Structure 1
Amino acid sequence: MGAKDDVRRRTLELLWKDARRPARGPQRGLTAEGIVEAAIGLVEAEGLAALSMRRVAQELGVGTASLYTYLPGKAELEALMLDAVALDDTLPHEWPGDWRAKVEAWARSDWEGFRKHPWVLQLVAAAPFPGPNAIRWLDSALRALEETGLSEADKMAVVESVDAYVRGQARLSLDTREPDADESRERDAALAGLIDFTDYPALLKSLQSGVAPYSADRFEFGLQRLLDGIATLIPTP
């Protein structure tokens, strides 16, 4: 078994078994849950780059070695952090309404969550370990589609497609800073003097109609079109 396999095994054991008890000399009042909470607080305040076992130990007022009696290392800590924030107050199937209303609600909730906590998007690719909260969410998302008549394969594909769309749009919104009004005016004035828009007739037509690139609610438009497509798969009575 390689080093990566060993990390995966340890991480999954931590996620699915009771928190490992310290081998010796436990720090009074220190718990795995408390370590995870402190780590989340740290990245919320200072960003993911600040995360290290040493910094988390400082936040807790203990020696770094004390953390290693509860968690093997940073990779396992990151996986526990992700699972700790995997659930909202309302699970997908608990939202009111039909399947579409439930999917809309969970998508919007996740969208706001990713934008509020961008470090989750940074970690999710690095620590793809399914923990109890992540599995509970997936089960709930599938339950939201129970009355659709979709096959099990299609239900899973719907959940994965909507989740991928939300994450992709959240990453795009975080990577693209919207200019303020003054910046927009200065940019547009500069471009008007540099570009002959008659070379781009389709874009010119949009601009003349008052449509500016990337000014609309891209998330909501795309979500509705995605759901429209899903609706065509649902058998009608």
Structure 2
Amino acid sequence: MPPSIDRTSAGDPARTLELLWRSRRERPPGRGPRKTLTVEEVVAAAVALADAEGLEAVTMRAVAQALGVAPMSLYTYVPGKAELLDVMLDTVFGQMPRPDLSGLPWRGRLEAVARDNRALFERHPWVAAVSTARPPLGPGLLAKYEHELRAFEGLGLTDVELDDALTFLLGFVQSSARSAADVRASRGEGTLTDEQWWALSEPLLAEVLDPGRYPTASRVGTAAGQAHNAAYDPGHAYRFGLRRVLDGLGVLIDRRAREQAGTPPG
């Protein structure tokens, strides 16, 4: 079986869309619980809980406790946790900055998109762990998608390539954010800093690592460890990876420019 992970659009599609777009008609007064909150307040409490304790801490009971209401009363506002997760994600997407990128060269525009998404994952680390293969089709996500697609305008890409290129870029940023979160978690669990761990490990490794048997691993591993004072540096990995992602997209962009100019492939 596939691993259990949090996914968007796992709830009822119709009820989720109604909630995302706040299009649900007001129910006539009845015998149910009287509304004392708003959907926005429920979502804000859930996001704050996820930011502080992780997405696994977000239960209907925990959110209700944070708001000082009975757990069953939350179902007046959201059908369940699956739908709540979609609105949480769409809300933080909607809060992202959308600066004017039109005056920047294409690499600068894409770097800005990557930077804004990396900042999102730093503000809300739980977002990086959520699968959006079926995205929450709310106003926050669509505004984000529109803004980020415009960073690729004028580059000669087809519509499908626009979506592919953006997905490729954002996939790298999300993967990088997950790795950075893993490093932060390991640092929080251990008593040694990365520098202390490497200082203790390097001489021990030198005793057992045979350069004659593992010449490349010995040379490269030692150089990388000394450069980063650790086995892995998430900041360096992000900067290196982003440059390679943009280099790869640059090949496609240059190819499309040559095709439009009628220049034979070089």
Query: In which range does the TM-score fall when normalised by the shorter chain?
Result: 0.7 to 0.9
User: How has the CA–CA distance of structure 1 residues 198 and 219 changed in structure 2, closer, same or farther, with 3 Å as cutoff?
Assistant: same
- What is the Cα deviation at residue 186 of structure 1? 0.8
Q: Choose from 151, 154, 166 the match for 1:159.
A: 166
Letter aligned with residue 85 of structure 1:
V
Q: Does 1:15 align with 2:20?
A: yes
1:47, distance to aligned residue in structure 2 (A): 1.9
Q: 1:101 aligns with which of 78, 97, 108?
A: 108
* Deviations, residues 6-61 of structure 1 (Å, cap 9, x unaligned): 62332122113436646644233x00010000111112122222111111111111
Q: Does 1:193 align with 2:198?
A: no
In the superposition, the TM-score normalised over structure 2's length comes to 0.77
Aligned to 2:157: 150
Q: What is the aligned-residue RMSD (CA, Å)?
A: 2.6
- Among 214, 230, 233, the residue aligned to 2:249: 230
Amino acid at match of 2:41: G
Q: Tell me what 2:46 maps to.
A: 39
Task: Provide the rounded CA distance (Å) in 1 between the counterparts of 2:133 and 2:248.
Answer: 31
- Are 1:50 and 2:64 counterparts? no
Contact 1:38-1:60 at 8 Å conserved across structures: yes
CA distance in 1, matches of 2:119, 2:11: 35
Structure 2 spans left out of the alignment, 5+ residues: 1-8, 188-192, 262-266
Q: Matches of 2:223 and 2:77 in 1, distance apart?
A: 62
Tell me what 1:214 maps to: 232
CA spacing shift, 1:134–1:70, aligned 2, 3 Å: same
Segments of 4+ in structure 1 off by > 6 A? none
What amino acid sits opposite 2:98 in the alignment? Answer: L
**Unaligned stretches of 5+ residues in structure 1:** none
Query: Structure 1 residues 4-13 or 138-147, which shifts more?
Result: 4-13
| Number of equivalences | 233
Distance 1:84 1:5, change over 3 A: closer
Q: Normalized against structure 1, the TM-score is what?
A: 0.86
| CA drift at 1:138 | 0.9
Which amino acid counterpart does residue 187 of structure 1 have in structure 2? S
State which drifts further: 4-13 or 62-71. 4-13
Matched, 1:84 2:103: no
Aligned 8 A contact 1:84 1:133 in 2: yes
SS at match of 2:252: coil
Task: Kindly indicate whether the alpha-carbon contact (under 8 Å) linking 1:21 and 1:70 is maintained by their aligned counterparts in 2.
Answer: no
- Distance in 2 (CA, whole Å) between partners of 1:200 and 1:218 is 24
**% identical aligned pairs:** 36
